[in-house]
Every structure is written in C-alpha cells, then in structure tokens.
Amino acid sequence: MDKHSKIYIAGHRGLVGSAIKRRLEQLGYTNLVYRSSKELELRNQKAVEEFFCAEKPAYVFLVAAKVGGILANNTYPAEFIYDNLSIQTNVIHTSYLHSVKKLLFLGSSCIYPKLTPQPMKEEYLLSGKLEPTNEPYAIAKIAGIKMCQAYNRQYGTNFISVMPTNLYGPNDNFDLENSHVLPALIRKFHEAKTKIQPAVTVWGTGTPKREFLHVDDLADACVFLMEHYQDSEIINIGTGQDLTIKELAELVKAKVGYQGEIVYDNTKPDGTPKKLLDVSKLKSMGWQAQIPLKEGLVGTYEWYQKNVSRNLQQIQDVYQ
C-alpha cells in the first residue's frame, strides 16, 4: 500500500477498526476514509454503492460487524446472522465492482468446529459441527470467507481473510449483556470493588481455555498481511498461548485489586471447551504478537477507568 493510497476502514469506531486506524496513522498513511454507522448504513446496498462511487477507495479493511459474547449470541441469533451477512456481502461485492486493489476481511476463531483438534489449523475449517451458542455468527463469517475466495477465483480479486483469536484492548465493549468475557470481567470486578461487594459471579465452570490477543497486535498483523499476504486461504492471528477462564478471572481480579470471592455459575453455558489457534503459518512469515496478556490487561483497565467507568458513574448519578 502506498502511503497516499485511499484506504477505507469499515468499522473504524469499534475495537478492531480504531486500532487499525491508529496503526495506519502511526505508519504514516495519510489518506484514510471512514464513516460512522449513522453516516453510512452498511446493511444498505444502495448506500454502500454510493459511498464507493464517491470515495473510490483503493484498499479496504472490512472489520465492521455485529459481535458479542455467549449471552448476546444466544439472545440475538437472527441479528447476528442477518447483520453480518448484509454488511460483508455489500462491502465485498461493491469492492469488486469498483476494482478495489485489495480487501482484508476479518473473520473469527469461532468459525472452527466445536471439537476440532487443538491448536486449530486453518485447514480444519468446515471439518465438523460448530459451537451451537454462536453458530449464526460463525456461519455468517464462513460465508464471508467463501465469498472472498469465490470472487478471487472467478474475478481475479485480491481479497484476503484473517481469523483472529479473542481480542481485548481500548474501545472494547464493556456492556455486561453484549460483551465478551474479558471486558465483562473487568467491569464486574471493578464495580464489585467500588461497591465493596463480597463476591463476583462468573458464567460457567471456569474450565474452558481461551487465547487472548491485544487489539494493537491484531492491527499490526492486519497491516502486515495487507502488505505481504496474497493467498485466498485463511490465516490465523493469535498468540499461540491460552489459559482457563478461572485463571483469567484470577488475573483480572488481581489487576483490578478486588479482594472478594469468585463464584462460578455452573448453570450457565461454557461454550467451546478449548480455543487455541495454530499461528505457525503467520509466524513463518515473520510476524508474532508482542504484547503479553498481563501488560495488555493493565492498559485496558486503565482505559476502562478513564473512558467507561467514569461515564457509567455519571449516568448512575443522574438517575439517583
């Protein structure tokens, strides 16, 4: 990518999009274009077409998506499949129509079967049944992967698909109903600490194992792959290391400084027993994650305190 080429970041205000924007700006890319969801409804095909006609981006980072944890996926399955299919179909197809030089499509590690061998290699895609709790979201992401591959094969496009592991960092979603496990734990422990509550409840048994990647590492990997990767086959992005939810909860508890008890609600679903990506393909290209979980967690908690907890407190004060 030339430093002056027009680059469109679809989803620039979210966790991933904002990190990609930061990374591109750090590297000296000066011609970035983006729109908020209020300014551009990506589920509207006509609106997307008009945007591409007006802006004519040369490169596209397609990271806009409806995302959430187990509760959100269970509660809004129709929205997860409809919204994501609509967004990615419109942007991918319109990128082809307007001769975009290269597009990066952001998938998810949930595309892999529930009981796939660990660590998960790229070739395990579609080798078994998906985890039921996030199947609609996973199917939408798989459709996006296959769409990119089909357009490459039929039209000669250069659309790549990357599969990140669980992400965290600045601009994450800390809503307890819609967030992923790590930001949810940060908020739960922080609020329990400030309200001097005796215990924090964590969903499930605490035994599932998960891998966590700081979003700034992901952004760096995405830019790296846009510059160096040309293959239609998917590529994993992760750390290659995991830990149990119980270990994660204890780590968050310590970083937040909460002194109470952790209670595990065994009536709630655990999700996939283990999710660890095989990142040997990306590592062989010369890239690997640089931010340790303990370090990234400290920065994320500091960001939460400055940008989220303060606003939540102001909202509570209004209604008291």
| 144 belongs to an annotated ligand binding site | no
Is 137 catalytic? The answer is: yes
Is 203 labelled a binding residue?
yes
The answer to the question of whether 228 is labelled as a binding residue is: no
User: Is 108 annotated among the ligand-binding residues?
Assistant: yes
State how far the alpha carbon of 88 is from the alpha carbons of 69, 162, 202, in Å: 20, 14, 33
Question: Any known ligand binding at 188?
Answer: yes
| Cis amide prior to 269 (ω within 30 degrees) | no
CA contacts within 13 A on the Cβ side of 61: 32
Residue 17 annotated as part of some ligand binding site: yes
Is 257 annotated in a binding site? The answer is: no
286 known ligand binder: no
28 is known to lie in a ligand binding site:
no
Q: Which two tokens stand for residue 47?
A: 């609106």
Other beta carbons within 10 Å of 27: 12
- Structure tokens of 245? 């939810």
Q: Is residue 141 annotated as involved in ligand binding?
A: yes
Q: Is 11 annotated as a binding residue?
A: yes
Of the residues 137, 168, 229, 258, which is catalytic?
Answer: 137
Q: Is 62 annotated as a binding residue?
A: no
Q: Is 127 annotated as a binding residue?
A: no
Q: Strand 7-10 vs strand 235-237: parallel, antiparallel, or unpaired?
A: unpaired
287 in a known ligand binding site:
no
Q: Confirm or deny that 280 is annotated as ligand binding.
A: no
Q: Which residues are annotated as a binding site for NADP(+)?
A: 11-17, 106-109, 141, 164-167, 180
Q: Which residues are annotated as a binding site?
A: 11-17, 106-109, 141, 164-167, 180, 188, 203, 210, 270
Q: Which residues are annotated as a binding site for substrate?
A: 188, 203, 210, 270
Residues with a catalytic annotation lie at 137
